[in-house]
């Protein structure tokens, strides 16, 4: 997909801020749509919710502010999955935490650094395209999973992570809810566990647009040939349990289970928290952190 097929909605009540953002992004050839306030933004979203890949949303606006727009988006099935980049003039912890809890997983501080803006936008757009791709795979899913109670996969690359996630999700009552979470856990195990890409290193790779290139390069390195991430699932009357193991040494997973305001301005680092809060009914890391157990309840009416 070309960037000019990707539409970004930019919302700010200050015309100069709209001009600055558009100027920074114009070289990336996105289709840019602007709104001068929250009411105008919501009208655009209601009219064509599937048009927008990402929204850059000012927090402080008269009338319907950014938090109110975000709250409406999260209550609407057609807009709840659109990534929101919240703009703020203040990076106070409590303010950022409020936005994170409301669903703004990306943050930008005014005034803008052009390179930071581009990196955050690129990351949000990629997340949206990834989520859409997974949903499309779900629609093409095989019904054979209705007959399965146990299974095991060995995943070797990013393509297989998405393929397995889109199939295993069919074991669960709401596949669209869990598919992104499974994919996040598999990719995390692959890149951080097996390929040893650290947090700061990934930040720099994403800033340069080289994250996927580096993953493919490391997969071809002799020390990584033959490595895999294992996904095992078990289904019973009450729940689906999905166990994912990588071949790394583990990591300190505790800081990543919740949204951290200190990471809100990074282009990544929210996948585990999103999976725990949005995809699964329970998520538990085991041992040194190279194994994670996700549970989805099946008897939802019980």
What are the structural domain ranges in the chain?
A: 3-132, 141-297
The answer to whether the 3-132 and 141-297 domains have the same CATH topology is no
Q: Cα separation of 242 and 296, whole Å?
A: 8
CA atoms within 13 A on the CB side of 116: 13
Q: What does pLDDT average to in each consecutive run of 10 residues of the chain (302 residues)?
A: 78 93 91 95 94 93 92 90 86 80 83 87 90 76 74 96 92 90 96 96 92 95 95 95 97 91 85 92 95 89 49
**Domain boundaries 141-297, corresponding CATH code:** 3.30.565.10
Q: Which CATH superfamily is domain 3-132 in?
A: Response regulator (3.40.50.2300)
What does pTM read for this prediction?
A: 0.74
Q: Note the pLDDT of residue 302.
A: 44
């Amino acid at each position: 997909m070309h960037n000019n097929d990707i539409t970004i909605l930019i919302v700010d009540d200050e015309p100069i801020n709209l001009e600055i953002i558009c100027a920074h992004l114009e070289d990336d050839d996105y289709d840019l749509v602007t709104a001068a306030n929250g009411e105008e933004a919501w009208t655009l979203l209601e009219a064509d919710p599937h048009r927008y890949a990402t929204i850059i949303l000012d927090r402080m606006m008269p009338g319907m502010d950014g938090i109110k727009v975000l709250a409406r988006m999260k209550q609407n099935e057609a807009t709840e999955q659109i990534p929101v980049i919240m703009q703020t003039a203040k990076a106070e912890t409590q303010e950022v935490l409020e936005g994170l809890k409301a669903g703004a997983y990306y943050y930008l501080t005014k005034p803008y650094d052009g390179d930071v803006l581009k990196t955050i936008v690129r990351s949000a757009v990629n997340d949206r395209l990834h989520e859409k791709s997974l949903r499309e795979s779900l629609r093409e899913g095989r019904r054979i999973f209705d007959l399965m109670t146990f299974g095991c996969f060995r995943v070797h690359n990013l393509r297989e992570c998405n393929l397995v996630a889109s199939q295993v999700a069919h074991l669960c009552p709401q596949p669209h809810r869990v598919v992104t979470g499974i994919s996040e856990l598999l990719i995390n195990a692959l890149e951080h566990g097996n390929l040893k890409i650290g947090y700061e290193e990934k930040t720099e790779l994403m800033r340069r647009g080289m994250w996927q290139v580096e993953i493919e390069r490391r997969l071809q390195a002799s020390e990584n040939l033959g490595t895999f991430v294992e996904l095992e699932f078990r289904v019973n009357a009450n729940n689906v349990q999905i166990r994912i193991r990588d071949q790394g040494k583990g990591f300190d997973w505790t800081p990543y289970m919740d949204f951290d305001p200190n990471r809100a301005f990074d282009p990544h680092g929210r996948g585990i928290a999103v999976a725990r809060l949005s995809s699964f009914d329970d998520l538990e890391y085991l041992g040194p952190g190279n194994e994670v157990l996700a549970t989805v309840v099946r008897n939802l009416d019980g």
